[in-house]
Chain A
């Protein structure tokens, strides 16, 4: 593009035609999911939502340093998959990993303390927001370099295959990841080794600050690449936890029974910017407004009302979650900073950091 013919409006993303969501699918009310499980899924989405809203507030108070990438608006994906997983299954997430960590049952307190860089943090303050990990919960890590973790997730799936443990690995990634080499290496490798893994693209329509459709030659960045690796093309409504859940259940079962890998693209939208530093002003106002209306929690709330759950029950759940988020915040704030000694521990498996003798 020469400078003479360059039209700056082409890069004025906020004035592009908005990409509007389709209306919520009320047919999904009839999916075969027990009501008590649905109530738990509502509660989990409340946990993810309220936790991250609090995390955002704590940034604003400068109690959380560095950066953080929130999943506000994307809670249905983490919820639908976590509910379909066995406790010993493996999760691999990206730097946008708070929701996936909590959804696997990791307590809020240590996660919040990690964001605050405290001694009682999930990683003792040494990993931070982008590296949340809890091996005992099957949360095998949050990885902050795009694509790499898909290759690593294959290894966990290969290990499960060798051990005959029937464990399934679920690896989450964003739409932007589909354009890096490691993504293609990983999906190809999983396919030729028939690994028990589900690749889950959380397509929130933006790779960081740039619309994904401007940097990708196909409409659905993950699903439209699936056939290149012999995989089924699957797109789901990433804002409908029930639709995510039934798809997750099918694909996890396929992997567990030796049917090999799969890839699903969950179309969703983040309510905020890419990270703490980003107000997200590159998105058309009308588009943001439409997706905010199509909030996964609103969709789920309305579904439960249609299914006869009293409003007061849902209010009580939200209030109980709010209380637990307060407790987690207090837990984190009251924790001291990491011990100075911890600076030099755990480079090596012997616990130390010595490189010479």
Chain B
């Protein structure tokens, strides 16, 4: 067991998979010589050489296109898109090409690509470098979507994503990069589509993703002081979505809160709320409540950004209010 930062866990997880599969390659802007602008790929060029770790031009369509074409012809690829906001400039390759080609060709083509990207707010970067774009990806049939919240899960879910034969968008949260956690020795491989109950409770269920998981856990601590026992679920992967773990928890607690960093409309929690209200209506003692960023572009100033993204305080207050 070693303590490791979320940032270092990314390179550690990539290295684990590159050692396992000698075909695996990675490309992206500034990922090789510079080790990535977020330093999530430090040391990989030295370990695996310039043929497997490749710097590219600033050309996101070229990056994802090359990843797709290589994957279709037998080479699994990890592609880095520096900021998840930039997915917008290569959305055609992601949403129209990678996601649909298998279906359109009657199953002739397989696209084993992992698109790693740095997602989420809290860095005071403003509206074009801070977004939580998980919903952009979740709404496209043919894409899997993964968002780890701990260094250990970075390694385990990255391995699962690389080994998955379908295109996977792997969202690394910028505000978690400096956080630390225990990473067990040896190979770590998780399964996509498996949520984790990270705190057990009996009065309500809080489903959260990525940066919202530690915040939900802190809110649960404070709720406990108020005599509210909250169960916290780290959703971990949006596609496939582990609805069973959430439904089982709601059967026990009878209340559900989702905590989402994405802007309000069509957030992943809306889909969860829809499923729970349809399939577990009689388990519920009250409405499903979504705690989200308002439906606004993210502001740059720290005071404003902190008001926008769900904070421990806001999560706590909204739950207390709803449980009253």
Identify the stretch in A124-132, A202-210, A213-221 within 8 Å (CB) of chain B at 4 or more residues: A124-132
* Chain A, interface residues (CB within 8 Å), range: 35 or more
Provide the bound-state CA to CA distance between A353 and B107, in Å: 12
**In the complex, are the beta carbons of B66 and A158 less than 8 A apart?**
yes
Instruction: Write out the residue numbers on chain A whose beta carbons fall within 8 Å of the beta carbon of B275.
Output: 356
Provide the bound-state CA to CA distance between A147 and B93, in Å: 10
What's the minimum C-beta distance from B246 to chain A, rounded to whole angstroms?
A: 10
**In the complex, are the beta carbons of A145 and B103 less than 8 A apart?**
no
Query: CB of B65 within 8 A of chain A?
Result: yes
**In the complex, are the beta carbons of B74 and A347 less than 8 A apart?**
no
What's the minimum C-beta distance from A97 to chain B, rounded to whole angstroms?
A: 12
Q: Which of A184-225 contact B (CB under 8 A)?
A: 185-186, 188-189, 192
Query: CB of B324 within 8 A of chain A?
Result: no
Query: CB of A151 within 8 A of chain B?
Result: yes
Instruction: Write out the residue numbers on chain A whose beta carbons fall within 8 Å of the beta carbon of B128.
Output: none
Identify the stretch in A1-9, A135-143, A306-314 within 8 Å (CB) of chain B at 4 or more residues: A135-143
**In the complex, are the beta carbons of A123 and B243 less than 8 A apart?**
no
Query: CB of B189 within 8 A of chain A?
Result: no
Provide the bound-state CA to CA distance between A188 and B107, in Å: 31
Instruction: Write out the residue numbers on chain A whose beta carbons fall within 8 Å of the beta carbon of B142.
Output: 347-348
Query: CB of A159 within 8 A of chain B?
Result: yes
With contacts A154-B69, A188-B57, A188-B59 known, is A346 near B243, CB below 8 A?
Answer: no
Provide the bound-state CA to CA distance between A160 and B69, in Å: 10
Query: CB of B106 within 8 A of chain A?
Result: yes
Which residue, B97, B106, B110, has most C-beta atoms of chain A within 10 A?
A: B106
What's the minimum C-beta distance from A44 to chain B, rounded to whole angstroms?
A: 23
Query: CB of B51 within 8 A of chain A?
Result: yes
**In the complex, are the beta carbons of A356 and B69 less than 8 A apart?**
no
**In the complex, are the beta carbons of B59 and A185 less than 8 A apart?**
yes
Q: Which of B94-132 contact A (CB under 8 A)?
A: 96-97, 101-110, 112
**In the complex, are the beta carbons of B61 and A159 less than 8 A apart?**
no
What's the minimum C-beta distance from B107 to chain A, rounded to whole angstroms?
A: 4
**In the complex, are the beta carbons of A351 and B107 less than 8 A apart?**
yes
**In the complex, are the beta carbons of A163 and B74 less than 8 A apart?**
yes
Instruction: Write out the residue numbers on chain B whose beta carbons fall within 8 Å of the beta carbon of A160.
Output: 73
Which residue from A133, A162, A181 sits with its C-beta under 8 Å from B105? Answer: A133
Instruction: Write out the residue numbers on chain A whose beta carbons fall within 8 Å of the beta carbon of B105.
Output: 123, 126-127, 131, 133, 135, 141
**In the complex, are the beta carbons of B75 and A152 less than 8 A apart?**
no
**In the complex, are the beta carbons of A90 and B57 less than 8 A apart?**
no
Give the interface of B toward A (CB within 8 A): 25, 51, 56-57, 59, 61-62, 64-75, 77, 92-93, 96-97, 101-110, 112, 141-142, 164-166, 193-194, 239-244, 275
For this complex, 24 residue pairs linking A to B, each with C-beta atoms less than 8 Å apart, are A127-B104, A131-B104, A148-B92, A148-B96, A152-B93, A152-B97, A155-B67, A155-B68, A155-B70, A155-B71, A155-B73, A155-B77, A159-B75, A162-B25, A163-B75, A182-B62, A185-B59, A185-B61, A347-B103, A351-B107, A354-B240, A355-B239, A355-B240, A356-B275
List the 9 closest pairs (A to B, CB-CB), nearest first. A155-B69, A151-B65, A349-B165, A346-B107, A124-B106, A189-B62, A185-B62, A185-B59, A155-B66
Known: A158-B69, A349-B110. 17 other contacts (CB 8 A): A127-B106, A145-B96, A147-B61, A147-B92, A148-B61, A151-B61, A151-B93, A154-B69, A155-B67, A155-B71, A156-B73, A182-B65, A346-B102, A347-B103, A349-B165, A349-B166, A355-B241
